[in-house]
């Protein structure tokens, strides 16, 4: 049960957006720019969602890892195998570029602590073709999901058990971005 009185028909962060619309607006603007808008980064929306899903899985945030895994799947043209590998933290064997592997490694460091990102981690990403801006965006996405994961779990929001629900949310967010209305779900799913 959530630690505060949240509307029951919305899962995860959506219940928090309903509870506090004033903070929901900048939070949604942040992910819209950071993850969804194709023009704001040379990383594709699918790559960015994989970084979000990976960080969330390392933080063991069920709602965020399932949701961003599902969004990544739709952003990657339905590639559920890659998403499964990333959510199982099997970066080495995932069918992704070496550049993205190096960036996911940096994201994993950031999840532990910003201080654990080493010169060697950065050099490796650069060697695989990552730009300064891509390194920046990776660090910020990982840092942002250390925020979102803590917000969602720190208030003990409801994480549905139904995989089909996450898939439906993922399909909607991949198509519409983050600024449209949330799903209403019969509780408990």
Return the number of the residue (140 or 165) whose C-beta is nearest another protein.
Answer: 140
- The first and second tokens of residue 182, run together, are 């949330």
* Least distance from another protein to the Cβ atom of residue 169, Å: 20
Nearest residue to 91 via CA among 107, 70, 77, 75: 107
- The residue from 61, 70, 159, 174 that contacts another protein (CB under 8 A) is 61
Return the number of the residue (20 or 81) whose C-beta is nearest another protein.
Answer: 20
- The residue from 78, 129, 154, 188 that contacts another protein (CB under 8 A) is 154
* Least distance from another protein to the Cβ atom of residue 107, Å: 9
| Residue 57 binds another protein (CB under 8 A) | no
| Residue 18 binds another protein (CB under 8 A) | no
- DSSP assignment of the chain equals --SS---TTS-HHHHHHHH-HHHHHHHHHHHIIIII-GGG-SS-HHHHHHHHHHHHHHTT-HHHHHHHHHHHHHHTTS-HHHHHHHHTT-TTTSSS-HHHHHHHHHHHHHHH-GGG--HHHHHHHHHTT--HHHHHHHHHHHHHHHHHHHHHHHTT------HHHHHHHHHHHHHH-SSSPPP---S--
| Residue 152 binds another protein (CB under 8 A) | yes
* Least distance from another protein to the Cβ atom of residue 72, Å: 19
Residues numbered 73 to 102 that lie near another protein (CB under 8 A) are none
- The residue from 81, 84, 89, 114 that contacts another protein (CB under 8 A) is 114
Separation of first and last alpha carbons in the chain = 14
* Least distance from another protein to the Cβ atom of residue 114, Å: 3
* Least distance from another protein to the Cβ atom of residue 183, Å: 21
- Applying CB under 8 A, the site for another protein has a residue count of 50
| Residue 144 binds another protein (CB under 8 A) | yes
């Amino acid at each position: 049960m959530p630690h505060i009185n949240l509307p029951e028909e919305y899962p995860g962060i959506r219940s928090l957006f309903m509870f506090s619309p004033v903070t929901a607006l900048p939070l949604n603007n942040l992910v819209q720019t950071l993850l969804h808008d194709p023009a704001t980064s040379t990383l594709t929306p699918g790559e960015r969602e994989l970084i979000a899903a990976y960080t969330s899985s390392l933080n063991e945030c069920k709602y965020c890892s399932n949701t961003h895994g599902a969004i990544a799947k739709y952003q990657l043209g339905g590639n559920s195998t890659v998403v499964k590998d990333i959510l199982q933290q099997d970066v080495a064997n995932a069918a992704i570029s070496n550049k993205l592997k190096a960036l996911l490694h940096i994201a994993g460091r950031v999840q532990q602590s910003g201080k654990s990102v080493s010169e060697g981690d950065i050099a490796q990403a650069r060697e695989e073709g990552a730009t300064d801006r891509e390194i920046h965006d990776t660090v910020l996405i990982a840092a942002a999901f250390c925020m979102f994961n803590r917000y969602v779990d720190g208030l003990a929001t409801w994480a549905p058990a139904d995989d089909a629900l996450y898939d439906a949310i993922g399909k909607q967010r991949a198509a519409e971005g983050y600024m449209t209305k949330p799903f209403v779900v019969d509780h408990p799913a």
